Amino acid sequence: MAEIVVTGSTGYIGRNFLMRAAAMLPNARFVGLTRSIRKARGLGLHQVRFVEGNVEDRETMSSAFRDASAVVHLAAAVKPRKAAEFFQTNVLGTQNVIELSKKAGVTRFVFVSSCDVGLPIVTRYSESKRQAEEIVTQSGLDYLIIRPTAVYGGFGATAMTGLQALVKRAPLVPVIGGGKQKLQPLYVDDLTAIILQALTAQVRNAVYEVGGPEQFTHLELIRELARASGKRGPIFHIPIPVALLAWVLAPFPFSGSFGILRERILSLSQDKVVSNERVMRDFDLTLTCLSDGLAGAQRLGSRVTESA
Ligand SMILES: NC(=O)c1ccc[n+]([C@@H]2O[C@H](COP(=O)([O-])OP(=O)(O)OC[C@H]3O[C@@H](n4cnc5c(N)ncnc54)[C@H](OP(=O)(O)O)[C@@H]3O)[C@@H](O)[C@H]2O)c1
């Protein structure tokens, strides 16, 4: 029977996607590619056949693609220790996943890329995602590429969870470059809804950017997070000029974690906003506003704590 292969199944988006997909399509068969069966079993996703494999090594993944009819490719190095991993996992890994998909006769390939690819490329992460997109678009497979902004909510910690914890507890919040850069946080359920629809959408061979329905400056976002956490009183922030940080980190090796950190800081100083016009035209969607998304995340958090 035809199976839907999900790479990166134990990651933040993979886990949230599989939970939604299993609930919405109870008769569909999902295969979750994972580097750790033990980690996968802990997710309690009984409808999913987990297969251990590494995208960097095609042989290890071949049994996952045995009966594949569609693929959701999420596996990626997002915060690796060494920059080379961006290319090994995101570029070579995507090439391997594409080759196995072609061999299996996959009829729909959904690739989750990043909004960073549509911006001036300042990190090796974005460059690796750009190269991965090129492999997908030139593969000859029927594909849809989704480029999300920063995602929050659902199960698992995100950059937003970390920022919210900091805003709640710390008297001072460091912000990069004065906090004027714009963000458009996307609720994870909205992204997983798009991925699910992308598996059967009439449109094909297209790239969609998607972000939340609102744009905030970094400082406005901090205020929203404080409000959602019930923090009263003023929030003090310390602006950290980007140039100063880049200069401080400059002596460290380009390939090591400081080199990656330097790029991440440059990336944080970019406006990360997209137009939702195309995605709203072609998908059946209502995007969740931040206050509702944060309330949903909080409800989920307390449910998890209660059952722990
Ligand atoms: N989260 C966001 O805000 C966001 C925004 C834009 C785009 N994206 C994109 O969305 C996708 C999923 O992101 P995420 O937030 O879920 O990331 P994540 O939590 O870091 O998960 C990444 C997943 O990829 C797997 N992986 C990494 N290297 C692998 C390898 N060599 N072989 C097999 N699997 C490997 C990881 O497996 P292990 O569990 O074994 O580590 C994990 O399941 C990524 O492509 C990312 O670029 C995410």
DSSP reduced 3-state for 271? coil
Specify the ligand 1 atom closest to the Cα of 148. Answer: 6
- Domain-embedded: residue 38: yes
> The domain containing residue 54 runs over which residues?
3-152+187-212+273-285
The per-residue pLDDT for 305 is 45
As to burial, measured by CB atoms within 10 angstroms (0-12 exposed, 13-18 middle, 19+ buried), residue 59 is: exposed
Domain count, the chain: 1
The per-residue pLDDT for 67 is 97
- Domain-embedded: residue 147: yes
The per-residue pLDDT for 250 is 63
Amino acid identity at 28: A
Contact 199, 289 (CB under 8 A): no
- Domain-embedded: residue 264: no
What are the phi and psi torsion angles at 101 (to 5°)? -65, -40
Q: Mean pLDDT check: name the lowest of 28-42, 133-147, 159-173, 282-296.
A: 159-173
Distance of CA 160 to the CA centre of its chain: 12
Express each pLDDT in 181-198 by its tens digit.
Answer: 999 999 999 999 999 999
* Closest by Cα among 149, 178, 295, 286 to 225: 295
Please indicate whether residue 89, judged by its CB atom, sits closer than 6 Å to ligand 1. Answer: yes
Question: How far apart are alpha carbons 259 and 186 in whole angstroms?
Answer: 28
- Ligand 1 centroid to Cα of residue 234, in Å, is 36
Please indicate whether residue 99, judged by its CB atom, sits closer than 6 Å to ligand 1. Answer: no
Per the structure block, which two tokens stand in for 226? 């404080």
- Domain-embedded: residue 176: no
- Domain-embedded: residue 10: yes
Specify the ligand 1 atom closest to the Cα of 150. Answer: 3
The per-residue pLDDT for 263 is 84
Specify the CATH number for the domain of residue 193: 3.40.50.720
Question: How far apart are alpha carbons 73 and 64 in whole angstroms?
Answer: 13
DSSP reduced 3-state for 202? coil
pLDDT at position 304 over 60: no
- Domain-embedded: residue 305: no
Q: What percent of the chain has pLDDT over 70?
A: 91
Express each pLDDT in 11-57 by its tens digit.
Answer: 999 999 999 999 999 999 999 999 999 999 999 999 999 999 999 99
Q: 92: which DSSP letter?
A: I
Residues 6+ apart with CB under 8 A from 305: none
Per the structure block, which two tokens stand in for 176? 């990069």
Query: Are β-strands 151-152 and 172-176 bridged in parallel, bridged antiparallel, or unpaired?
Result: unpaired
- Domain-embedded: residue 88: yes
Amino acid identity at 104: A
Please indicate whether residue 14, judged by its CB atom, sits closer than 6 Å to ligand 1. Answer: yes
Per the structure block, which two tokens stand in for 244? 């100063």
* Closest by Cα among 83, 115, 269 to 191: 115
The per-residue pLDDT for 308 is 41
Question: How far apart are alpha carbons 49 and 226 in whole angstroms?
Answer: 41
Please indicate whether residue 97, judged by its CB atom, sits closer than 6 Å to ligand 1. Answer: no
Please indicate whether residue 136, judged by its CB atom, sits closer than 6 Å to ligand 1. Answer: no
What are the phi and psi torsion angles at 172 (to 5°)? -125, 140
pLDDT at position 237 over 50: yes
Kindly write down the DSSP assignment for every residue of 23-36, as one continuous string: HH-TT--EEEEES-
Question: How far apart are alpha carbons 179 and 268 in whole angstroms?
Answer: 10
Model confidence at 303, pLDDT cuts 50, 70, 90, reads low
Q: Mean of the pLDDT values across residues 95-115?
A: 98
The single residue listed with the structure tokens 């992308």 is 198
Q: What percent of the chain has pLDDT over 90?
A: 71
- Domain-embedded: residue 66: yes
- Ligand 1 centroid to Cα of residue 233, in Å, is 37
Kindly write down the DSSP assignment for every residue of 94-115, as one continuous string: HHHHHHHHHHHT-SEEEEE--G
- Ligand 1 centroid to Cα of residue 12, in Å, is 7
Q: E strand or H helix at 146, and its extent?
A: strand 143-148
DSSP reduced 3-state for 1? coil
What are the phi and psi torsion angles at 287 (to 5°)? -80, 140
Query: Are β-strands 186-187 and 143-148 bridged in parallel, bridged antiparallel, or unpaired?
Result: unpaired
The per-residue pLDDT for 257 is 76
